[in-house]
A and B are shown apart, each in its own frame.
Chain A
Amino acid sequence: AQKVTQAQTEISVVEKEDVTLDCVYETRDTTYYLFWYKQPPSGELVFLIRRNSFDEQNEISGRYSWNFQKSTSSFNFTITASQVVDSAVYFCALSEVFIQGAQKLVFGQGTRLTINP
């Protein structure tokens, strides 16, 4: 069975600090996708990134970066120079790919990130 573990339930840092959110996953599939979503207080999920299992290149997008390591089954997310607007719950998710392409997502427990001014 697939499983995503976000061991950090809550993180609180001061603005401008760097912060890394951990994500460890389990799957028997050789082909899968990994995701990160942001959920602000409004509740709407904001897509951040999708990475397929064959692409282990790290990704950087502005202040956000992701480190995908298949050897340790981890897909960690780092926010550099954090800002108050980054405060939200962040979810890591894993999907298996069905024949018709439908992707069932399994979400981690989420990490509540609070950036203090």
Chain B
Amino acid sequence: GAVVSQHPSRVICKSGTSVKIECRSLDFQATTMFWYRQFPKQSLMLMATSNEGSKATYEQGVEKDKFLINHASLTLSTLTVTSAHPEDSSFYICSAESEGPANYEQYFGPGTRLTVT
């Protein structure tokens, strides 16, 4: 089956620094990737939709200048949390979409746990 990886799996950073999270589709090309955020004991909330070669589409309430998304190739999307603050501590999950035999299939990465101190 299709595999999506995320790196790093865990990261701790100091307040005010920036953190980059990578999302890779390992064995398929993904025109579209999604970024979700999950606070403890809460649901997943879509942050943005990332399309290869174009600007990401952000959901309402998500600061595009704070959460920079770059989808530079069909296998890689990155999320950079700029000037991170403790309230940005969360579990970030990406997903990648490929065209499968039964319409478009979406595959999730294992997630990145960000802790901002």
Which residues from chain A sit less than 8 Å from chain B, CB to CB?
37, 42-45, 47, 52, 91, 95, 97, 100-110, 112
Contact = CB atoms under 8 A, between A and B. Distances in A.
B110 A101 contact: no
A101 B14 CA distance: 39
B34 A105 contact: yes
A43 B106 contact: no
Given A102-B32, A105-B46, A44 B104 contact: no
Contact of A101 (B34, B45, B46, B103): B103
Contact of B113 (A43, A101, A106): A43
Given A44-B111, A45-B111, A105-B46, 11 more contacts: A43-B91, A43-B93, A44-B108, A44-B110, A101-B32, A101-B97, A105-B95, A107-B44, A109-B42, A110-B42, A112-B41
Contacts of B34: 104-105
Interface of B is mostly: strand
Contacts, number: 56
Interface residues of B, number: 24
Nearest to A102: B32
Nearest to A108: B43
A44 B109 CA distance: 7
Which of B104, B106, B107, B110 counts the most chain A CB atoms within 10 A? B106
B17 to A, nearest CB: 23
Contacts of A97: 103-104
A24 to B, nearest CB: 15
B43 A109 contact: yes
Contact of A100 (B32, B42, B93, B95): B32
Contact of A43 (B32, B107, B111): B111
14 contacts: A37-B108, A42-B110, A43-B91, A43-B93, A44-B108, A45-B44, A52-B103, A97-B104, A101-B97, A102-B51, A103-B106, A104-B34, A105-B46, A107-B45
A45 to B, nearest CB: 4
B106 to A, nearest CB: 6
B78 to A, nearest CB: 19
Contacts of B44: 45, 91, 105, 107
